[in-house]
Amino acid sequence: MVDKDDLLNRCKLNDLIENYGEMFEYLKELSTLKIDLQMDELDLITRCTKCYIGHKRGQYRKILTLIDKDKIVDNQKNFSLLEILRKKLSEEILQLCNKTIEISQNFLRNNPTFPKKTQLYFTKTIADHYRYIYEINNKDEIKLKSKDFYEKSLQTIKECKYTSTETPYLTFYLNYSVFLHDTMKNTDEAIKVSKTCLYEALKDTEEIVDNSQKDIVLLCQMLKDNISLWKTEFNEGNNDNNIINNNLVSGTSENDKKNESLNEIRTNTEK
Q: What is the pLDDT of residue 7?
A: 94
Q: Where in the chain is the domain with CATH 1.20.190.20?
A: 1-137
Q: What is the pLDDT of residue 258?
A: 46
Q: Which DSSP helix (H) or strand (E) runs through 107?
A: helix 76-110
Q: What is the pLDDT of residue 76?
A: 76
Instruction: Report the alpha-carbon angle 72-74-79, nearest 5.
Output: 95
Mean pLDDT for back-to-back runs of 10 residues, the chain (271 residues)? 87 94 94 93 94 94 86 73 93 97 97 96 98 97 98 96 92 97 96 95 70 83 95 65 45 45 56 49
Cβ 11 vs Cβ 23: under 8 Å: yes
**Nearest partner of 211 among 43, 18, 10, 8, judged by Cα:** 43
**Nearest partner of 259 among 269, 249, 246, judged by Cα:** 249
- The rounded distance, in Å, linking the Cα atoms of 117 and 42 is 11
Torsion sign across C-alpha atoms 205, 210, 211, 215: positive
Distance of CA 103 to the CA centre of its chain: 17
Residue type, 194: S
The helix-helix angle for 39-73 and 4-16 (nearest 10°) equals 40
Full DSSP string of 146-194: HHHHHHHHHHHHHTTT--TTSHHHHHHHHHHHHIIIIIS--HHHHHHHH
Q: What is the pLDDT of residue 203?
A: 84
Q: What is the pLDDT of residue 249?
A: 39
- The rounded distance, in Å, linking the Cα atoms of 134 and 155 is 23
Torsion sign across C-alpha atoms 37, 42, 44, 50: positive
Q: Which residues contact 182 (CB under 8 A, 6 or more apart)?
A: 131, 135
Quick one: 1-137 is in which CATH superfamily? 14-3-3 domain (1.20.190.20)
Is-above-0.95 flag for pTM? no
Burial code (b: 16+ CB inside 10 Å, e: under 16) for 233-248 equals eeebeeeeeeebeebb
